[in-house]
Structure 1
Amino acid sequence: METKATDYEKYQRAKEKVAEIKGFYSHLLSFVFVMAFLIFVNLKYTPQYLWFLWTFFGWGIGLLFHASRTFNIVPFLNSDWEQRKIKQYMDEENNKNKFI
């Protein structure tokens, strides 16, 4: 039995999506500014060893995961997959309870 989403539910989902995108862009902006500062410090004081690369790659991996979740790049991380799994487990639970 599938119910149609009300306008309020649609609004709430859209609002959550906008908040996710805003959070990603905040994350991206802080990444750019902090990395620019670290690159400057690294190249000014210890140019013989590029230690900023460790931070760049570590934080960059986190940023990539954040982007993949926000923009549904990886199929098993998107909200459609989550909703299908939730529905599947709820249906399984309902079917199990019918036989008890």
Structure 2
Amino acid sequence: METNRNDKRTKARNRVAQLKGFYIHALVYVLVNLFIVVASIIGQMNAGESFNEALFNFGTFATPVFWGIGLAFHAAKTFGYSPFFSKDWEERQIKKYMEDDRREAEKFSKSK
């Protein structure tokens, strides 16, 4: 009984650590990319570009876009989103392979 309680506590701590890690990652993403975008726009405007030219330059938002992709994968892992390999998919595959093994065993036993 005590072991079960400790297992649940450990799982809960791990889950909280995952959430905390994601939230810290998201906060750092926002703060760092806000700084990068503002610095990029100011730098480009000092180089002679207009505000609109600096704002709509791909280089201004390249870091947030690519880092955002990484953050999206981190979120998917943290919150258990898997559009390709869901729990239902895993269960179907397990049942399929168990059924295949059962059929194979039946074939083998009938051939004896």
Q: 1:67 aligns with which of 59, 65, 75?
A: 75
- Aligned length in residues: 76
Residue aligning to 1:33: 31
Deviation of residue 9 (structure 1)?
A: 0.4
What stretches of structure 1 move > 3 A for 4+ residues in a row? 75-78
Contact 1:68–1:74 (Cα < 8 Å) also in 2: yes
**CA shift digits 1:38-85 (9 cap, x unpaired):** 11111111127341321111100000000000011115388xx6xxx9
Calculate the TM-score normalised by the size of structure 2: 0.60
Distance in 1 between residues matched to 2:60 and 2:78, nearest whole Å:
26
Residue matched to 1:56: 64
Q: Percent identity?
A: 34
Equivalent in the alignment of 1:20: 18
TM-score, normalized by length of structure 1? Answer: 0.67
Gap runs ≥5 in structure 2? 45-53, 95-112
Q: 1:77 to 1:53 in 2, by over 3 A?
A: farther
From the superposition, tell whether residues 77 and 20 of structure 1 become closer, same or farther in structure 2 (CA, over 3 Å): farther
Structure number with greater CO (CA < 8 Å, separation at least 6) is 2
RMSD: 2.3
